[in-house]
Amino acid sequence: MSSAPAGRASVVEVFLVALKLGLTSFGGPVAHLGYFRHEYVERRRWLTDAEYADTVALCQALPGPASSQTGIAIGTARAGYLGGLAAWVGFTLPSVLALTGFALLLGNSEVATSGWVQGLLIAAVAVVAQAVWGMSRSLAPDLERLVLALIAGVTITLVPHAVMQVGLLATAGVYGWLRWRHLDVASPAVVPLEARYRRLAPVWLGALVVLLVGLSIGRALTADDSLVALAEVSARSGALVFGGGHVVLPLLEEGFVPRWLTADEFLAGYGAAQAVPGPLFTFSAYLGAKAAGVGGAVIALVAIFAPSLLLVWGVGPYWDSLRARPSVRAGLRGVNAGVVGLLAAALYSPVITSAIGSIEDVALALACAALLIVWKRPSWFVVLIAAAGGALLGL
């Protein structure tokens, strides 16, 4: 797949699309991947299902928030490095502003239990279901790969851990390599980070090492509650977590409580983070704002996402050269089936289990699915309908 040429118009386009996703993508990281697929694959056709699945597989293998990294990779392909930054800023900006404002102005809220929030979670059920259905048809079209997806889905449901997720994708890849390496497995068009980005890839990886080592040294030389310490805790959390989302919470709690805020304040911010769209990693903006105002919010936010950005730019450009090999293409055939299974498992938990609690919720979820799949309404429209329906049910 050839990328759109870099330029101001393309950067603006990437930013506006990502901003729309940042305003409407509710339901957590797995739901975000469903929204991304609907927007980037179905509506805009910036990449195919196979390209999207390969990009997701790459980002799942990297530490950090997989959904944000997927957006960064697609934005970079669309409009260069500025496009990657635009994709990140657009996707995170709405939740950053909401959570920073919440930290500075409110301090406590029961917004996470509101009826309209429940409606947003129900909308995520329809979006993820559509993604599972669409990706299964293209990435698990035969019985063998469907069984592979089923095994992956059942296993991660029984053992829901980020390490198991990575292990399942690796196992699916090994199976694909053993099963199809002797076949002429056709390679779809390239994953969206072209080889032309490879020249600077070592620079980004080197910058990541300098960032993490430099912050560690800086924290040792400064006060335990300094801004350097704030950045080090955030960057370390973003660099060590696989799977992103809720997996990062224990690291953030250990780093911020009670040094900068109380356990109650931490939980209040987490509740607010559940109620806003966008990546859960923007919870760091709330924590930073509580610790040091607007400046602390910016430092914590940039620090927690910096490893993800540098990893995508540092590792992504080598992905195409690897997958050009027949053995790697065979392995990716298995990995892609595994991705379908993991997404299907996530549709059950946490998407359905956190959203569906009554027969009325089921009815609203089916209505949203019909709007999205049958009547082809855009995801933002479905989100609005779901929010309104959830508010009515909450009354």
pLDDT over threshold 90, residue 293: yes
Inter-CA distances, 97 with 245, 291, 366, Å: 18, 16, 32
The torsion angle over the Cα atoms of residues 379, 49, 176 and 152, rounded to 10 degrees, is 10
DSSP category for residue 351: I
Identify the pLDDT of residue 8.
43
CB 307 within 8 A of CB 236: no
pLDDT digits (tens, 9 = 90+) for 3-47: 444 334 489 999 999 999 999 888 777 789 899 999 999 999 998
pLDDT digits (tens, 9 = 90+) for 61-87: 788 888 999 999 999 988 899 999 999
Distance CA 99, CA 106 (A): 10
- Across all residues in the chain, what is the average pLDDT? 85
Identify the pLDDT of residue 111.
53
Domain with 249, as residue range(s), is 1-395
Identify the pLDDT of residue 5.
41
Identify the pLDDT of residue 2.
36
Distance CA 246, CA 280 (A): 7
CB 274 within 8 A of CB 112: yes
Report the number of distinct structural domains present in the chain: 1
Distance CA 290, CA 100 (A): 8
Mean pLDDT (whole number) for 53-64: 83
Q: What is the DSSP string of 302-350?
A: HHHHHHHHHHHHHHGGGHHHHHTSHHHHHHHHHHHHHHHHHHHHHIIII
Distance CA 393, CA 395 (A): 5
Q: Buried (b) or exposed (e) across 288-303, using 16+ Cβ within 10 A?
A: bbbbbeeebbbbbbbb
Identify the pLDDT of residue 1.
36
Identify the pLDDT of residue 14.
96
Identify the pLDDT of residue 142.
93
pLDDT digits (tens, 9 = 90+) for 308-363: 999 999 988 887 777 667 887 788 789 888 878 887 887 887 678 878 989 999 99
